[in-house]
Protein backbone atom coordinates (compact mmCIF):
# COMPACT_ATOMS: atom_id res chain seq x y z
CA UNK A 1 0.00 0.00 0.00
CA UNK A 2 1.30 3.46 -0.86
CA UNK A 3 2.04 5.77 1.99
CA UNK A 4 0.23 9.10 1.74
CA UNK A 5 1.33 10.69 4.97
CA UNK A 6 3.94 9.48 7.40
CA UNK A 7 4.34 11.40 10.64
CA UNK A 8 7.24 10.67 12.97
CA UNK A 9 7.72 12.14 16.41
CA UNK A 10 5.92 15.35 15.57
CA UNK A 11 5.72 17.82 18.48
CA UNK A 12 4.61 21.41 18.92
CA UNK A 13 5.12 23.63 21.90
CA UNK A 14 3.37 26.96 22.30
CA UNK A 15 5.45 28.45 25.10
CA UNK A 16 5.01 26.05 27.98
CA UNK A 17 2.03 24.29 26.51
CA UNK A 18 2.75 21.16 24.54
CA UNK A 19 -0.04 21.06 22.00
CA UNK A 20 1.23 17.97 20.20
CA UNK A 21 3.49 15.40 21.82
CA UNK A 22 5.66 13.02 19.85
CA UNK A 23 2.96 12.03 17.40
CA UNK A 24 3.42 9.07 15.06
CA UNK A 25 0.90 8.35 12.34
CA UNK A 26 0.81 6.49 9.10
CA UNK A 27 -1.88 7.11 6.53
CA UNK A 28 -2.10 5.00 3.40
CA UNK A 29 -3.67 5.43 0.01
CA UNK A 30 -7.41 5.02 -0.23
CA UNK A 31 -8.08 5.38 3.47
CA UNK A 32 -10.65 7.70 4.94
CA UNK A 33 -8.63 8.53 7.97
CA UNK A 34 -10.34 10.13 10.93
CA UNK A 35 -8.39 12.09 13.51
CA UNK A 36 -10.65 12.04 16.49
CA UNK A 37 -10.20 14.02 19.65
CA UNK A 38 -11.94 16.50 21.90
CA UNK A 39 -11.65 20.21 21.13
CA UNK A 40 -8.15 21.48 21.85
CA UNK A 41 -6.55 18.06 21.57
CA UNK A 42 -4.07 19.17 18.89
CA UNK A 43 -5.83 18.04 15.72
CA UNK A 44 -5.67 21.37 13.91
CA UNK A 45 -2.12 22.04 15.11
CA UNK A 46 -1.06 18.67 13.71
CA UNK A 47 -2.68 19.37 10.36
CA UNK A 48 -1.22 22.90 10.39
CA UNK A 49 2.25 21.38 10.75
CA UNK A 50 1.90 18.90 7.90
CA UNK A 51 0.49 21.72 5.73
CA UNK A 52 3.45 24.00 6.37
CA UNK A 53 1.66 26.81 8.18
CA UNK A 54 2.77 25.87 11.71
CA UNK A 55 6.43 25.20 12.45
CA UNK A 56 6.97 21.95 14.34
CA UNK A 57 9.11 21.98 17.49
CA UNK A 58 10.38 18.49 16.72
CA UNK A 59 9.75 15.55 14.43
CA UNK A 60 9.31 15.02 10.73
CA UNK A 61 6.63 14.20 8.22
CA UNK A 62 6.59 12.94 4.66
CA UNK A 63 3.93 13.30 2.01
CA UNK A 64 3.81 10.54 -0.59
CA UNK A 65 7.16 9.35 0.77
CA UNK A 66 8.81 12.66 -0.05
CA UNK A 67 10.26 15.44 2.06
CA UNK A 68 7.81 18.34 2.53
CA UNK A 69 7.92 21.09 -0.10
CA UNK A 70 5.68 23.78 -1.52
CA UNK A 71 5.03 21.78 -4.65
CA UNK A 72 3.85 18.77 -2.67
CA UNK A 73 1.20 20.90 -0.96
CA UNK A 74 -0.24 21.63 -4.42
CA UNK A 75 -1.23 17.96 -4.66
CA UNK A 76 -3.15 18.09 -1.40
CA UNK A 77 -6.52 19.76 -1.04
CA UNK A 78 -7.10 21.23 2.39
CA UNK A 79 -9.75 22.93 4.43
CA UNK A 80 -8.16 23.95 7.71
CA UNK A 81 -10.61 25.14 10.39
CA UNK A 82 -12.57 27.78 8.49
CA UNK A 83 -13.21 28.45 4.80
CA UNK A 84 -10.68 31.18 3.94
CA UNK A 85 -11.56 33.26 0.90
CA UNK A 86 -11.57 36.86 -0.30
CA UNK A 87 -15.07 38.05 0.66
CA UNK A 88 -15.36 40.53 -2.20
CA UNK A 89 -14.45 37.98 -4.90
CA UNK A 90 -17.01 35.68 -6.47
CA UNK A 91 -16.89 31.94 -5.89
CA UNK A 92 -15.43 31.52 -9.37
CA UNK A 93 -12.74 34.16 -8.91
CA UNK A 94 -11.77 32.70 -5.56
CA UNK A 95 -11.39 29.32 -7.21
CA UNK A 96 -9.39 30.87 -10.06
CA UNK A 97 -6.99 32.27 -7.51
CA UNK A 98 -6.62 28.91 -5.79
CA UNK A 99 -6.16 27.22 -9.18
CA UNK A 100 -3.45 29.70 -10.11
CA UNK A 101 -1.57 29.02 -6.90
CA UNK A 102 -1.85 25.28 -7.38
CA UNK A 103 -0.89 25.55 -11.02
CA UNK A 104 -4.14 23.88 -12.06
CA UNK A 105 -6.01 24.55 -15.28
CA UNK A 106 -9.12 26.75 -14.95
CA UNK A 107 -11.13 24.18 -16.89
CA UNK A 108 -11.76 22.11 -13.75
CA UNK A 109 -13.48 24.99 -11.96
CA UNK A 110 -16.95 24.35 -13.39
CA UNK A 111 -16.72 20.67 -12.58
CA UNK A 112 -15.71 21.40 -9.00
CA UNK A 113 -18.48 23.98 -8.58
CA UNK A 114 -20.98 21.38 -9.78
CA UNK A 115 -19.62 18.73 -7.42
CA UNK A 116 -20.17 20.97 -4.41
CA UNK A 117 -23.50 22.25 -5.73
CA UNK A 118 -22.50 25.89 -6.17
CA UNK A 119 -22.53 26.18 -9.94
CA UNK A 120 -25.60 28.46 -9.89
CA UNK A 121 -23.93 30.76 -7.37
CA UNK A 122 -20.56 30.88 -9.11
CA UNK A 123 -20.73 34.62 -9.76
CA UNK A 124 -21.94 35.65 -6.30
CA UNK A 125 -19.41 37.21 -3.95
CA UNK A 126 -18.16 34.89 -1.23
CA UNK A 127 -19.45 37.18 1.52
CA UNK A 128 -23.07 36.61 0.43
CA UNK A 129 -22.79 32.86 1.09
CA UNK A 130 -24.32 31.01 4.01
CA UNK A 131 -21.87 29.16 6.24
CA UNK A 132 -22.74 25.84 4.65
CA UNK A 133 -22.08 27.25 1.19
CA UNK A 134 -18.77 28.70 2.34
CA UNK A 135 -17.81 25.32 3.72
CA UNK A 136 -18.76 23.64 0.44
CA UNK A 137 -16.79 26.18 -1.57
CA UNK A 138 -13.78 25.42 0.62
CA UNK A 139 -14.17 21.73 -0.17
CA UNK A 140 -14.54 22.68 -3.82
CA UNK A 141 -11.29 24.64 -3.73
CA UNK A 142 -9.62 21.66 -2.08
CA UNK A 143 -10.83 19.43 -4.92
CA UNK A 144 -9.23 21.57 -7.64
CA UNK A 145 -6.84 19.64 -9.81
CA UNK A 146 -7.85 16.21 -8.52
CA UNK A 147 -5.67 16.12 -5.41
CA UNK A 148 -4.21 12.83 -4.23
CA UNK A 149 -5.20 13.60 -0.67
CA UNK A 150 -7.87 15.74 0.92
CA UNK A 151 -7.62 17.23 4.39
CA UNK A 152 -10.86 18.26 6.04
CA UNK A 153 -10.72 19.83 9.46
CA UNK A 154 -14.07 19.75 11.26
CA UNK A 155 -15.95 20.03 7.97
CA UNK A 156 -19.39 19.97 9.57
CA UNK A 157 -18.65 22.39 12.38
CA UNK A 158 -21.26 25.09 12.72
CA UNK A 159 -23.59 23.60 10.12
CA UNK A 160 -27.28 22.84 10.48
CA UNK A 161 -28.43 19.21 10.22
CA UNK A 162 -29.12 19.52 6.50
CA UNK A 163 -25.70 21.07 5.90
CA UNK A 164 -24.08 18.29 7.91
CA UNK A 165 -25.86 15.65 5.85
CA UNK A 166 -24.81 17.37 2.60
CA UNK A 167 -21.17 17.56 3.60
CA UNK A 168 -21.11 13.92 4.72
CA UNK A 169 -22.65 12.82 1.45
CA UNK A 170 -20.07 14.87 -0.39
CA UNK A 171 -17.20 13.34 1.56
CA UNK A 172 -18.50 9.84 0.90
CA UNK A 173 -18.82 10.70 -2.79
CA UNK A 174 -15.25 11.99 -2.92
CA UNK A 175 -13.94 8.98 -1.01
CA UNK A 176 -15.58 6.68 -3.54
CA UNK A 177 -13.32 8.20 -6.21
CA UNK A 178 -10.36 6.75 -4.37
CA UNK A 179 -9.04 10.01 -2.98
CA UNK A 180 -7.42 9.58 0.41
CA UNK A 181 -9.23 11.69 2.96
CA UNK A 182 -7.91 12.87 6.29
CA UNK A 183 -10.75 14.11 8.42
CA UNK A 184 -10.31 15.74 11.80
CA UNK A 185 -13.36 15.78 14.00
CA UNK A 186 -14.47 15.85 17.59
CA UNK A 187 -17.66 14.04 16.61
CA UNK A 188 -17.48 10.31 17.15
CA UNK A 189 -20.58 9.71 15.20
CA UNK A 190 -19.10 11.49 12.18
CA UNK A 191 -15.90 9.45 12.24
CA UNK A 192 -17.86 6.25 12.76
CA UNK A 193 -20.08 7.01 9.77
CA UNK A 194 -17.45 8.19 7.31
CA UNK A 195 -14.02 6.83 8.19
CA UNK A 196 -12.27 3.55 7.50
CA UNK A 197 -9.38 4.29 9.85
CA UNK A 198 -9.10 6.37 12.96
CA UNK A 199 -6.48 7.91 15.22
CA UNK A 200 -7.64 9.02 18.61
CA UNK A 201 -5.82 11.96 20.13
CA UNK A 202 -6.06 13.46 23.58
CA UNK A 203 -3.99 16.37 24.88
CA UNK A 204 -1.70 16.07 21.88
CA UNK A 205 -0.98 12.41 22.45
CA UNK A 206 -1.96 9.49 20.29
CA UNK A 207 -4.14 7.01 22.18
CA UNK A 208 -5.10 4.66 19.38
CA UNK A 209 -4.58 4.28 15.68
CA UNK A 210 -6.03 1.62 13.42
CA UNK A 211 -8.96 0.48 11.34
CA UNK A 212 -12.39 1.61 12.52
CA UNK A 213 -13.58 -1.97 12.14
CA UNK A 214 -10.94 -3.19 14.53
CA UNK A 215 -12.12 -0.82 17.19
CA UNK A 216 -15.80 -1.03 16.36
CA UNK A 217 -16.58 -3.94 14.18
CA UNK A 218 -18.86 -6.77 14.98
CA UNK A 219 -17.92 -8.48 18.16
CA UNK A 220 -18.21 -12.14 19.09
CA UNK A 221 -21.51 -11.41 20.77
CA UNK A 222 -25.12 -11.85 19.74
CA UNK A 223 -28.26 -10.23 21.10
CA UNK A 224 -31.10 -12.70 21.30
CA UNK A 225 -34.71 -12.31 22.40
CA UNK A 226 -37.61 -14.75 22.67
CA UNK A 227 -40.96 -14.97 24.42
CA UNK A 228 -39.74 -17.43 26.97
CA UNK A 229 -36.50 -15.88 28.15
CA UNK A 230 -35.87 -18.43 30.92
CA UNK A 231 -36.01 -21.40 28.55
CA UNK A 232 -33.94 -19.51 26.03
CA UNK A 233 -31.23 -18.84 28.58
CA UNK A 234 -31.16 -22.47 29.73
CA UNK A 235 -30.88 -23.82 26.20
CA UNK A 236 -28.27 -21.32 25.16
CA UNK A 237 -25.94 -22.43 27.91
CA UNK A 238 -25.87 -25.83 26.20
CA UNK A 239 -25.00 -24.42 22.77
CA UNK A 240 -21.47 -24.83 21.43
CA UNK A 241 -18.85 -22.14 22.09
CA UNK A 242 -21.07 -20.14 24.42
CA UNK A 243 -18.96 -18.47 27.05
CA UNK A 244 -21.37 -16.29 28.89
CA UNK A 245 -25.05 -15.30 28.85
CA UNK A 246 -26.11 -11.97 30.34
CA UNK A 247 -29.44 -10.26 30.50
CA UNK A 248 -29.59 -6.64 29.30
CA UNK A 249 -32.61 -4.48 28.44
CA UNK A 250 -34.90 -7.48 28.07
CA UNK A 251 -32.50 -9.25 25.71
CA UNK A 252 -29.86 -11.87 26.24
CA UNK A 253 -26.32 -10.93 25.39
CA UNK A 254 -24.46 -14.09 24.47
CA UNK A 255 -20.69 -14.10 24.31
CA UNK A 256 -19.06 -16.78 22.21
CA UNK A 257 -15.53 -18.04 22.33
CA UNK A 258 -15.37 -17.77 18.55
CA UNK A 259 -17.43 -16.03 15.92
CA UNK A 260 -20.88 -17.66 15.94
CA UNK A 261 -23.04 -18.46 12.92
CA UNK A 262 -26.48 -16.91 13.62
CA UNK A 263 -28.24 -19.14 11.06
CA UNK A 264 -27.01 -22.34 12.74
CA UNK A 265 -28.01 -21.00 16.12
CA UNK A 266 -31.48 -20.08 14.89
CA UNK A 267 -31.97 -23.55 13.41
CA UNK A 268 -30.77 -25.21 16.56
CA UNK A 269 -33.05 -23.16 18.79
CA UNK A 270 -36.03 -23.92 16.53
CA UNK A 271 -35.26 -27.62 16.90
CA UNK A 272 -35.35 -27.08 20.66
CA UNK A 273 -38.82 -25.56 20.27
CA UNK A 274 -37.75 -21.97 20.88
CA UNK A 275 -38.76 -19.35 18.38
CA UNK A 276 -36.68 -16.22 18.66
CA UNK A 277 -38.07 -12.70 18.19
CA UNK A 278 -34.75 -10.85 18.00
CA UNK A 279 -31.35 -11.85 16.73
CA UNK A 280 -28.50 -9.44 15.97
CA UNK A 281 -24.76 -9.01 16.15
CA UNK A 282 -23.83 -6.77 18.98
CA UNK A 283 -22.16 -3.62 17.61
CA UNK A 284 -19.52 -2.04 19.73
CA UNK A 285 -20.03 1.67 19.61
CA UNK A 286 -17.06 3.91 19.01
CA UNK A 287 -18.35 6.02 21.80
CA UNK A 288 -17.88 3.36 24.45
CA UNK A 289 -14.46 2.52 23.06
CA UNK A 290 -13.53 6.16 22.87
CA UNK A 291 -14.57 6.87 26.42
CA UNK A 292 -12.73 3.77 27.54
CA UNK A 293 -9.58 4.95 25.80
CA UNK A 294 -9.86 8.41 27.25
CA UNK A 295 -10.23 6.94 30.72
CA UNK A 296 -7.46 4.46 30.31
CA UNK A 297 -4.92 5.61 27.74
CA UNK A 298 -2.39 2.94 28.62
CA UNK A 299 -4.60 0.31 27.03
CA UNK A 300 -3.56 1.30 23.55
CA UNK B 1 7.32 36.22 -11.17
CA UNK B 2 4.55 36.47 -13.78
CA UNK B 3 2.52 33.97 -11.79
CA UNK B 4 2.86 36.00 -8.60
CA UNK B 5 1.84 39.13 -10.49
CA UNK B 6 -1.23 37.34 -11.84
CA UNK B 7 -2.12 36.14 -8.36
CA UNK B 8 -1.90 39.66 -6.94
CA UNK B 9 -3.91 40.98 -9.86
CA UNK B 10 -6.61 38.38 -9.19
CA UNK B 11 -6.76 39.52 -5.59
CA UNK B 12 -7.17 43.23 -6.29
CA UNK B 13 -9.07 43.06 -9.57
CA UNK B 14 -12.45 43.18 -7.80
CA UNK B 15 -11.34 44.98 -4.66
CA UNK B 16 -13.26 48.23 -4.85
CA UNK B 17 -11.19 49.96 -2.16
CA UNK B 18 -8.13 49.48 -4.35
CA UNK B 19 -9.80 51.00 -7.40
CA UNK B 20 -11.41 53.73 -5.31
CA UNK B 21 -8.00 54.70 -3.99
CA UNK B 22 -6.56 54.50 -7.51
CA UNK B 23 -9.20 56.94 -8.76
CA UNK B 24 -8.70 59.30 -5.80
CA UNK B 25 -4.95 59.34 -6.38
CA UNK B 26 -5.26 59.77 -10.15
CA UNK B 27 -7.77 62.59 -9.92
CA UNK B 28 -6.05 64.20 -6.92
CA UNK B 29 -2.54 64.13 -8.32
CA UNK B 30 -3.63 65.16 -11.82
CA UNK B 31 -5.48 68.14 -10.34
CA UNK B 32 -2.41 68.96 -8.30
CA UNK B 33 -0.13 68.83 -11.34
CA UNK B 34 -2.38 70.99 -13.49
CA UNK B 35 -3.53 73.36 -10.81
CA UNK B 36 -0.35 74.16 -8.94
CA UNK B 37 1.00 76.87 -11.24
CA UNK B 38 -2.23 78.87 -11.58
CA UNK B 39 -2.71 78.44 -7.81
CA UNK B 40 0.73 79.79 -6.92
CA UNK B 41 0.52 82.66 -9.38
CA UNK B 42 -2.87 83.69 -8.07
CA UNK B 43 -1.86 83.52 -4.42
CA UNK B 44 1.38 85.36 -4.81
CA UNK B 45 -0.42 88.23 -6.44
CA UNK B 46 -3.68 87.87 -4.56
CA UNK B 47 -3.34 89.03 -0.96
CA UNK B 48 -2.22 92.63 -1.45
CA UNK B 49 -3.38 94.99 -4.09
CA UNK B 50 0.16 95.97 -4.80
CA UNK B 51 1.38 92.98 -6.76
CA UNK B 52 4.87 91.78 -5.96
CA UNK B 53 6.97 91.85 -9.05
CA UNK B 54 7.29 88.18 -9.84
CA UNK B 55 10.00 87.14 -12.22
CA UNK B 56 8.67 85.29 -15.20
CA UNK B 57 8.83 81.61 -14.46
CA UNK B 58 6.87 78.49 -15.15
CA UNK B 59 6.76 75.33 -13.09
CA UNK B 60 6.06 73.41 -16.24
CA UNK B 61 9.11 74.17 -18.32
CA UNK B 62 11.46 71.38 -19.30
CA UNK B 63 13.59 70.19 -17.67
CA UNK B 64 12.66 71.68 -14.27
CA UNK B 65 9.13 70.34 -14.50
CA UNK B 66 10.41 66.90 -13.41
CA UNK B 67 11.94 68.35 -10.27
CA UNK B 68 8.85 70.48 -9.57
CA UNK B 69 6.26 67.75 -10.06
CA UNK B 70 8.19 64.99 -8.29
CA UNK B 71 8.72 67.29 -5.34
CA UNK B 72 4.98 67.91 -5.10
CA UNK B 73 3.96 64.30 -5.59
CA UNK B 74 6.63 63.14 -3.15
CA UNK B 75 5.31 65.15 -0.22
CA UNK B 76 4.59 62.92 2.76
CA UNK B 77 0.87 63.63 2.57
CA UNK B 78 0.65 62.13 -0.90
CA UNK B 79 3.02 59.25 -0.13
CA UNK B 80 0.73 58.21 2.71
CA UNK B 81 -2.13 57.29 0.38
CA UNK B 82 -0.42 54.41 -1.45
CA UNK B 83 1.22 53.37 1.84
CA UNK B 84 -2.15 53.13 3.61
CA UNK B 85 -3.57 51.15 0.73
CA UNK B 86 -0.68 48.70 0.91
CA UNK B 87 -1.14 48.35 4.68
CA UNK B 88 -4.81 47.58 4.14
CA UNK B 89 -4.15 45.00 1.43
CA UNK B 90 -1.53 43.24 3.55
CA UNK B 91 -3.59 43.18 6.74
CA UNK B 92 -6.59 41.92 4.77
CA UNK B 93 -4.65 38.74 4.09
CA UNK B 94 -4.56 38.17 7.84
CA UNK B 95 -8.16 39.23 8.49
CA UNK B 96 -9.47 36.86 5.82
CA UNK B 97 -6.84 34.23 6.79
CA UNK B 98 -6.09 33.97 3.10
CA UNK B 99 -2.36 34.24 3.58
CA UNK B 100 -2.56 30.98 5.48
CA UNK B 101 -4.72 29.46 2.77
CA UNK B 102 -2.28 30.62 0.07
CA UNK B 103 0.51 28.73 1.84
CA UNK B 104 -1.69 25.66 2.31
CA UNK B 105 -2.50 25.77 -1.40
CA UNK B 106 1.18 25.69 -2.25
CA UNK B 107 2.75 29.15 -2.23
CA UNK B 108 6.05 29.31 -0.39
CA UNK B 109 6.51 31.84 2.38
CA UNK B 110 9.06 33.67 0.26
CA UNK B 111 6.61 33.85 -2.63
CA UNK B 112 4.03 35.36 -0.27
CA UNK B 113 6.38 38.27 0.49
CA UNK B 114 7.71 38.55 -3.06
CA UNK B 115 4.20 38.85 -4.49
CA UNK B 116 3.49 41.75 -2.13
CA UNK B 117 6.78 43.44 -3.03
CA UNK B 118 5.76 43.12 -6.68
CA UNK B 119 2.47 44.83 -5.77
CA UNK B 120 4.33 47.71 -4.07
CA UNK B 121 6.54 47.95 -7.15
CA UNK B 122 3.58 48.08 -9.53
CA UNK B 123 1.78 50.72 -7.45
CA UNK B 124 4.95 52.84 -7.33
CA UNK B 125 5.55 52.42 -11.05
CA UNK B 126 1.94 53.38 -11.82
CA UNK B 127 2.31 56.63 -9.90
CA UNK B 128 5.52 57.40 -11.81
CA UNK B 129 3.69 56.73 -15.09
CA UNK B 130 0.88 59.05 -14.02
CA UNK B 131 3.40 61.79 -13.32
CA UNK B 132 5.21 61.06 -16.57
CA UNK B 133 2.08 61.41 -18.70
CA UNK B 134 1.00 64.64 -17.01
CA UNK B 135 4.56 65.94 -17.09
CA UNK B 136 4.84 65.43 -20.83
CA UNK B 137 1.46 67.02 -21.51
CA UNK B 138 2.21 70.03 -19.30
CA UNK B 139 5.80 70.32 -20.40
CA UNK B 140 5.08 70.20 -24.12
CA UNK B 141 2.36 72.80 -23.81
CA UNK B 142 4.37 75.17 -21.61
CA UNK B 143 7.93 74.92 -22.83
CA UNK B 144 9.39 77.10 -25.50
CA UNK B 145 12.16 74.64 -26.06
CA UNK B 146 11.29 70.94 -26.21
CA UNK B 147 14.53 69.55 -27.54
CA UNK B 148 15.11 65.95 -26.56
CA UNK B 149 18.13 66.79 -24.44
CA UNK B 150 16.26 69.35 -22.44
CA UNK B 151 13.19 67.17 -21.97
CA UNK B 152 15.20 64.33 -20.47
CA UNK B 153 17.78 66.37 -18.61
CA UNK B 154 16.22 65.99 -15.15
CA UNK B 155 14.60 62.65 -15.77
CA UNK B 156 16.43 61.10 -12.82
CA UNK B 157 13.98 62.92 -10.54
CA UNK B 158 11.41 60.35 -11.70
CA UNK B 159 13.69 57.63 -10.41
CA UNK B 160 13.96 59.41 -7.07
CA UNK B 161 10.17 59.75 -6.92
CA UNK B 162 9.78 56.04 -7.63
CA UNK B 163 12.22 55.29 -4.81
CA UNK B 164 10.23 57.51 -2.45
CA UNK B 165 6.92 55.77 -3.10
CA UNK B 166 8.52 52.32 -3.12
CA UNK B 167 10.44 52.83 0.13
CA UNK B 168 7.37 54.23 1.90
CA UNK B 169 5.32 51.34 0.54
CA UNK B 170 7.85 48.84 1.85
CA UNK B 171 7.61 50.40 5.31
CA UNK B 172 3.83 49.99 5.06
CA UNK B 173 4.31 46.36 4.00
CA UNK B 174 6.53 45.72 7.02
CA UNK B 175 4.16 47.38 9.49
CA UNK B 176 1.14 45.59 8.04
CA UNK B 177 2.94 42.24 8.23
CA UNK B 178 4.13 42.88 11.76
CA UNK B 179 0.84 44.10 13.22
CA UNK B 180 -1.72 42.08 11.18
CA UNK B 181 -4.71 44.19 12.28
CA UNK B 182 -5.70 46.85 9.74
CA UNK B 183 -6.72 49.65 12.08
CA UNK B 184 -3.79 49.09 14.39
CA UNK B 185 -1.31 49.00 11.51
CA UNK B 186 -2.69 52.15 9.91
CA UNK B 187 -2.60 53.86 13.32
CA UNK B 188 1.05 52.93 13.79
CA UNK B 189 2.00 54.02 10.28
CA UNK B 190 0.29 57.40 10.71
CA UNK B 191 1.60 57.99 14.23
CA UNK B 192 5.13 57.11 13.20
CA UNK B 193 5.23 59.16 10.04
CA UNK B 194 3.32 62.22 11.23
CA UNK B 195 4.29 62.44 14.92
CA UNK B 196 7.00 60.07 16.14
CA UNK B 197 9.67 60.41 13.50
CA UNK B 198 9.33 64.18 13.05
CA UNK B 199 9.72 64.70 16.84
CA UNK B 200 12.59 62.22 17.16
CA UNK B 201 14.16 63.84 14.11
CA UNK B 202 13.90 67.28 15.66
CA UNK B 203 15.73 66.29 18.83
CA UNK B 204 18.46 64.24 17.15
CA UNK B 205 22.01 65.26 16.25
CA UNK B 206 22.55 66.15 12.63
CA UNK B 207 24.32 62.95 11.56
CA UNK B 208 21.42 60.90 12.96
CA UNK B 209 18.80 63.11 11.30
CA UNK B 210 20.03 62.00 7.91
CA UNK B 211 19.50 58.36 8.75
CA UNK B 212 15.83 58.46 9.77
CA UNK B 213 13.99 56.58 7.02
CA UNK B 214 11.19 59.03 6.31
CA UNK B 215 13.50 62.02 6.69
CA UNK B 216 15.84 60.42 4.17
CA UNK B 217 12.92 59.84 1.83
CA UNK B 218 11.96 63.50 2.28
CA UNK B 219 15.51 64.67 1.56
CA UNK B 220 15.74 62.79 -1.73
CA UNK B 221 14.02 65.55 -3.67
CA UNK B 222 14.64 68.98 -2.19
CA UNK B 223 12.39 71.99 -2.62
CA UNK B 224 12.69 73.17 -6.24
CA UNK B 225 14.99 76.14 -6.54
CA UNK B 226 12.66 78.20 -8.65
CA UNK B 227 13.03 81.82 -9.50
CA UNK B 228 10.53 82.57 -6.80
CA UNK B 229 12.66 80.90 -4.16
CA UNK B 230 15.78 82.64 -5.35
CA UNK B 231 13.92 85.89 -5.04
CA UNK B 232 13.51 85.20 -1.33
CA UNK B 233 17.19 84.49 -1.09
CA UNK B 234 16.90 80.78 -0.33
CA UNK B 235 18.96 78.23 -2.13
CA UNK B 236 17.90 74.63 -2.23
CA UNK B 237 19.71 71.65 -3.54
CA UNK B 238 19.27 71.32 -7.28
CA UNK B 239 20.69 67.80 -7.40
CA UNK B 240 19.91 64.47 -5.79
CA UNK B 241 22.41 63.57 -3.11
CA UNK B 242 23.79 60.12 -3.72
CA UNK B 243 24.14 59.48 0.01
CA UNK B 244 20.38 59.97 0.47
CA UNK B 245 19.74 57.45 -2.29
CA UNK B 246 21.98 54.95 -0.52
CA UNK B 247 20.26 55.53 2.83
CA UNK B 248 16.77 55.11 1.36
CA UNK B 249 17.84 52.01 -0.58
CA UNK B 250 19.35 50.56 2.58
CA UNK B 251 16.10 51.12 4.48
CA UNK B 252 14.09 49.58 1.66
CA UNK B 253 16.25 46.46 1.78
CA UNK B 254 16.00 46.33 5.58
CA UNK B 255 12.17 46.61 5.40
CA UNK B 256 12.06 43.82 2.82
CA UNK B 257 14.40 41.52 4.74
CA UNK B 258 12.49 42.02 8.00
CA UNK B 259 9.23 41.21 6.21
CA UNK B 260 10.73 38.01 4.78
CA UNK B 261 12.09 37.11 8.22
CA UNK B 262 8.76 37.63 9.99
CA UNK B 263 6.80 35.56 7.47
CA UNK B 264 9.38 32.77 7.55
CA UNK B 265 9.49 32.50 11.34
CA UNK B 266 5.82 32.97 12.09
CA UNK B 267 3.14 30.33 12.53
CA UNK B 268 0.51 31.49 10.09
Task: For residue range B139-157, list pLDDT tens digits in order.
Answer: 988 888 778 888 888 899 9
Contacts of B203 (CB under 8 A, 6+ apart): none
Using an 8 Å CB-CB cutoff, list chain A residues near B114.
none
Domain A218-283, second-level architecture: 2-Layer Sandwich (3.30)
For A197-236, where are the alpha helices, taking DSSP H only? 212-215, 229-236
Q: Which is it for strands A17-28 and A3-14: parallel, antiparallel or unpaired?
A: antiparallel
Q: In this structure, which topology does domain A3-215 adopt according to CATH?
A: Rossmann fold (3.40.50)
Tell me the per-residue pLDDT of A194-223, one tens digit each, with 9 for 90 and over.
Answer: 899 999 998 889 988 888 877 765 567 888
The burial class, CB within 10 Å (0-12 / 13-18 / 19+), for A137 is: buried
| Helices B76-95 and B213-220, packing angle to 10 deg | 130
Q: What is the mean pLDDT of chain B?
A: 90
Tell me the per-residue pLDDT of A100-139, one tens digit each, with 9 for 90 and over.
Answer: 999 999 999 999 999 888 999 999 999 999 988 999 999 9
> How far is the CA of B47 from the CAs of A15, B41, B56, B109, in angstroms?
67, 11, 19, 58
Least Cα separation, residue A28 to chain B (angstroms): 21
Instruction: Tell me whether residues B10 and A71 touch, CB distance under 8 A.
Output: no
Instruction: Tell me whether residues A90 and B3 touch, CB distance under 8 A.
Output: no
Instruction: Tell me whether residues A70 and B111 touch, CB distance under 8 A.
Output: yes
CATH 3.30.70.100 domain extents, chain A: 218-283
Phi–psi pair at A200, nearest 5 degrees? -105, 125
CATH 3.40.50.300 domain extents, chain A: 3-215
Band the pLDDT of B226: cuts 50, 70, 90: low
Q: Which is it for strands A149-153 and A180-185: parallel, antiparallel or unpaired?
A: parallel
pLDDT at B53: 52
Query: Hey, which of A210-214, A296-300, B116-120, B227-231 has the most confident mean pLDDT?
Result: B116-120
> At residue B259, does pLDDT exceed 50?
yes
Tell me the per-residue pLDDT of A135-166, one tens digit each, with 9 for 90 and over.
Answer: 999 999 999 988 999 999 998 887 888 888 88
pLDDT at B49: 52
At A242, is the secondary structure helix, strand, or coil? strand
The answer to whether residue B110 neighbours chain A at the CB level (below 8 Å) is no
Using an 8 Å CB-CB cutoff, list chain B residues near A55.
265, 267
Q: With a cut of 0.90, is the ipTM above it?
A: no
Using an 8 Å CB-CB cutoff, list chain A residues near B100.
53, 80, 84
| Span B224-241, average pLDDT | 72
Least Cα separation, residue B263 to chain A (angstroms): 10
pLDDT at A299: 43
Band the pLDDT of A296: cuts 50, 70, 90: low
pLDDT at B227: 60
Q: To the nearest 5 percent, what fractions of chain B are helix, strand and coil? A: 75, 0, 25
Instruction: Tell me whether residues B106 and A84 touch, CB distance under 8 A.
Output: no
At A229, is the secondary structure helix, strand, or coil? helix
From the list A86, A90, A141, which residue is nearest B11 (CB)?
A86
Best probe of the A interface among B98, B99, B105, by most A CBs < 10 A, is B105
> At residue B207, does pLDDT exceed 60?
yes
The answer to whether residue B7 neighbours chain A at the CB level (below 8 Å) is yes
Q: Where are the domains of chain B?
A: 2-8+60-265
For chain A, where are the alpha helices, taking DSSP H only? 43-50, 70-73, 91-102, 109-115, 131-143, 161-175, 188-194, 212-215, 229-236, 262-271, 286-295
From the list B96, B100, B107, which residue is nearest A70 (CB)?
B107
Amino acid sequence: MNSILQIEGLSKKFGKIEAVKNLNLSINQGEVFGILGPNGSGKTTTLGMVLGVVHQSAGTYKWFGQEPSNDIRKKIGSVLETPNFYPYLSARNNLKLAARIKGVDFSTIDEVLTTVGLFERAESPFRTFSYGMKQRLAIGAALLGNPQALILDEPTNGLDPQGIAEIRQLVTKIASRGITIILASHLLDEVQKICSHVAIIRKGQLLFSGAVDSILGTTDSLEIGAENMVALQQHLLNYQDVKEVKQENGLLIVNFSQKPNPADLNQWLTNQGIYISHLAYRQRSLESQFLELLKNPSKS
Amino acid sequence: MIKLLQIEYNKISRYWIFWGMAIILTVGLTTLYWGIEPFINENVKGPSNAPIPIPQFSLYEFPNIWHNLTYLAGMRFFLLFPALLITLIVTNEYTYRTLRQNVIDGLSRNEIVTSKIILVFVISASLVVLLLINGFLLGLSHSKDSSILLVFEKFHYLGAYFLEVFAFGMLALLIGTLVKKALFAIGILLTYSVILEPIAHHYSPEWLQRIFPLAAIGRLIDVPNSGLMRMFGVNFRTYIDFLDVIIVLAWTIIFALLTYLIIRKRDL
